[in-house]
Each structure stands twice: as C-alpha cells, then as structure tokens.
C-alpha cells in the first residue's frame, strides 16, 4: 500500500479566512481549522446528515448548507438559534431527543473549503453542499420567522427561503424519522434469523 503525504493546510486555511472575510464579509476566528462566527450574519441549524438530506428534498431552496462528517448545518437568520427551543415546544416536539440543535450568538461553525477551491481537506472536513455566493447578500436567502400577518410563501427575511417555522417543523419530523429508521435497522441487523 502506498502512503501519501497530505498537502499543507496552513496556506489554504489562511486563504480560506481571507476569502470569507473579503468576499462575503463574514467574521472568522483563527483555526486551524478556520471558524465562522455565528450570531452576526447568520445562525446555524444543525442536524444529522441523513435527516438533513431529507429536509433539503422536502423543503427545496434554503440558504447555504454545509456538511461536516455526519452533521449538516443549514444557515438561518441571525437570532434563530434563540427561537429553536420555543418553536420545538410550540410544534409539540419539545422534550423529544431529535439531534436538532442550533448555534447562535457567540458560537462557531467550522468553515468549509470555499467553493471552487482545490480540495485539500481531509476526509470528514466541512464542505459546502449549497455554497454562499460572493457579491450577494446572504440574509435574504436565510430562513427566518415571518412577521405576523405576512404570508409564509417566502422566508421571513424576504427571500425565496422557507420561513423558519416550516423549516424547523420539517427538520424535526425528518430527525425523528431518521432516528426511528436507524433504531429499526440496528434492531433488524441484531436479530438472528428464524427458520421454520
């Protein structure tokens, strides 16, 4: 078996921080790996990757979406992390272990490799599934709470994203469904075969 030496990461990570700061005007924190500061321009709704994939198929367009290992992060409007516990209670998901969390003010998100950059990232490193677009404000694309009395066809932030309530409801449903499927798969695989 041939061993390979990984590419140096320092230059990429420094360049990555610069890309986020200059191209997107997002705050970063020193790494390695480079971290994106949450709570300023966006918060992150985190969930298991299998549930996240089902949410993306079900909901359609959202803001930027990142994947890191077995967790998916959907960028949502700043302040949304504070709303998550109340929304889950209101939607009658409170108290159920879903694996659905949010990172808001004062938090960090591992910065994925910028889009169209060489992939020098290690396996399991963060990558963009739906990358942000330089030169385009991210806020209008992020799910947010729709103002009272406004339609829910678009995100509360005025873009094409779903409103935060719809997104959290779909995410909770898919997290629960994925958890049940994982549990049933483990139970089925552990059960011995019965022959008559």
Number of separate domains in the chain: 1
137 within some domain: no
- Give the tens place of pLDDT for each residue, 60-112: 888 999 999 999 999 999 999 999 999 999 999 998 999 999 999 999 999 99
Which residues share a beta bridge with 77? 42
Q: Which pLDDT value is given to residue 6?
A: 44
Q: Which two tokens stand for residue 168?
A: 């959290």
83 within some domain: yes
pTM for the whole structure? 0.81
Q: If we measure between CA atoms, which residue out of 145, 37, 43 comes closest to residue 87?
A: 145
Q: Which pLDDT value is given to residue 16?
A: 79
Reported confidence tier of residue 27, pLDDT bands at 50, 70, 90: very high
5 within some domain: no
- Give the tens place of pLDDT for each residue, 127-182: 999 999 887 888 888 999 876 545 545 455 555 667 899 999 999 999 999 989 88
Task: Provide the residue range defining the domain that includes 53.
Answer: 10-131+155-181
Close Cβ partners of 185 (under 8 Å, ≥ 6 residues apart) = none
Question: Could you tell me where the beta strands, DSSP code E, fall in the chain?
Answer: 28-29, 35-37, 42-48, 65-68, 71-77, 101-103, 108-110, 127-130
């Amino acid at each position: 078996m041939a061993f390979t030496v990984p590419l140096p990461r320092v230059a990429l990570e420094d360049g990555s921080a610069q890309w986020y700061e200059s191209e997107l005007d997002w705050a970063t924190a020193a790494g390695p790996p480079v971290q994106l500061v949450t709570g300023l321009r966006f918060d992150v709704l985190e969930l298991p990757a299998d549930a996240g994939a089902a949410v993306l198929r079900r909901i359609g367009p959202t803001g930027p979406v990142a994947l890191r290992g077995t967790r998916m992060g959907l960028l949502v409007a700043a302040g949304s992390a504070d709303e998550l516990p109340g929304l889950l209670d209101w939607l009658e998901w409170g108290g159920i272990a879903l694996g659905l969390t949010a990172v808001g003010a004062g938090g960090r998100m591992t910065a994925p490799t910028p889009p169209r950059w060489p992939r020098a990232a290690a396996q399991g490193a963060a990558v963009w599934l739906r990358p942000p677009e330089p030169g385009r404000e991210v806020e209008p694309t992020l799910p947010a709470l729709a103002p009272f009395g406004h339609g829910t066809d678009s995100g509360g932030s005025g873009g094409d994203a779903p409103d935060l309530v719809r997104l959290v409801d779909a995410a909770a449903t898919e997290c629960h469904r994925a958890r049940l499927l994982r549990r049933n798969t483990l139970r089925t695989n552990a059960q011995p075969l019965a022959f008559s």
